Amino acid sequence: MSAHCPWSAHEGCCRAHPSTRDQPPQPPIHRIEIPEQKLEPSNAASNGGQPPPPYIDPRSSYAITPIHLAVEHHLSLQHLDCVRRRLEEKPTPQLVPELSAKGSISRSDGTRIEWNSYVYFERGRFLQRQQTLYLRKDGMAKRKENFISCPHHSIEIDGPTFGFQDDRLTAKTLIVNNPPRCEVHFGGTEWNSLHGDYLQMNVCQICHCDAECIIALEIDNLFVWYTCYKDLGTGDASNPDAKWIALLTGRGTPCRDTESFELYARVWGAAKSLDQRGLEDVTHRNSRGVFNVYSHWMQSQNTQNQETTDRGT
């Protein structure tokens, strides 16, 4: 099989490599396997040499892992369950301020991370948008940053190297997806600001989680926007749904179309209808073509308005 990745350096790469597209679907990517029963330490060897993650009861107060260490906000099922009883059904998405937070850290090496975490309630489900904005200037200590979308996927971004080309400041870095997204980019994707902004979307097959990464050099600042769009489920602690269990423990069955932007569009749209900030209007690309979230949202608004008008007449 000839190894060829169709994506240029500023587009990241897809899960569905064209050389494998015509073949049967690939087996699901399971980085963490947790059996139904409590794992004993002696089972460690059966997990590909990796020590097994501790068994977690999804009804317990464990929180899902924030997308970055800087995010000091931990959400458990009990938090959702608690507000669920108080929320009233509304036709439009609501922000849940009790479960939303934001903050920032400035490090001694000069890097800065701003973060926010929003929970929305829409049609009986909790949605979450968690975002970090990472910023660094030239001349700062090199340090890798790790961003975690769910138990099945994370991304590591090398400390960037700055340089000059044609009198312009350039930045380059290496983006490593774990697990790798295709066989060509097993060791990561090299990005150089001369290619344009970096853009990738990772859709987990198991968790209802879409993770977006945008890297851009603006004047002399390197920016990384990392945003996760999640469906947290119903928030019913007496009957935890599969969505929550998957996000918390990694356990679950592949149920999602990884070439669909539906969840991303739904959470983005909820935030947009609440007039929130930090929404990047970008055009993503996958094997099905291009997808612009803003035009998608505008279209859905027009459809809704049309339906309202139709009902009114």
Residues at the site binding Zn ion, with contacts judged by CB under 5 A: 5, 13-14, 17, 150, 152, 182, 184-185, 204, 206-207, 255
Contact yes or no for 276/225 (Cβ under 8 A): no
> Whole-angstrom Cα distance, residue 243 to residue 255?
10
Looking at the Cβ atoms of 141 and 255, the one nearer to Zn ion is 255
Looking at the Cβ atoms of 181 and 272, the one nearer to Zn ion is 181
Q: How far is the CB of 172 from Zn ion (least distance, A)?
A: 17
Q: How far is the CB of 194 from Zn ion (least distance, A)?
A: 19
Looking at the Cβ atoms of 123 and 142, the one nearer to Zn ion is 123
Contact yes or no for 201/264 (Cβ under 8 A): yes
User: Three-state DSSP class for 38?
Assistant: coil
Contact yes or no for 39/54 (Cβ under 8 A): yes
DSSP string covering 130-184: EEEEEEEETTPPP--EEEEEETTEEEEEPPPEEEEETTEEEEEEEEEEES-SSST
Q: How far is the CB of 174 from Zn ion (least distance, A)?
A: 13
Helix, strand, coil: what percent of the chain each, to 5?
20, 35, 45
Looking at the Cβ atoms of 163 and 254, the one nearer to Zn ion is 254
Q: How far is the CB of 229 from Zn ion (least distance, A)?
A: 13
Q: How far is the CB of 181 from Zn ion (least distance, A)?
A: 6
Residue 207 structure tokens: 């968790």
Which CA distances in Å does 174 have to 86, 144, 192, 271, 291? 46, 10, 9, 31, 25
Q: How far is the CB of 151 from Zn ion (least distance, A)?
A: 6
Residue 178 structure tokens: 């774990």
* Residue 34 one-letter amino acid: I
Q: How far is the CB of 295 from Zn ion (least distance, A)?
A: 25
Q: How far is the CB of 268 from Zn ion (least distance, A)?
A: 19
Looking at the Cβ atoms of 59 and 125, the one nearer to Zn ion is 125
Looking at the Cβ atoms of 79 and 152, the one nearer to Zn ion is 152
Alpha-helical regions (H) of the chain? 18-21, 77-84, 242-249, 262-273, 293-312
Bridge partners of 202, per DSSP, are 211
Looking at the Cβ atoms of 255 and 274, the one nearer to Zn ion is 255
Q: Calculate Rg over the CA atoms of the chain.
A: 20
Looking at the Cβ atoms of 162 and 226, the one nearer to Zn ion is 226
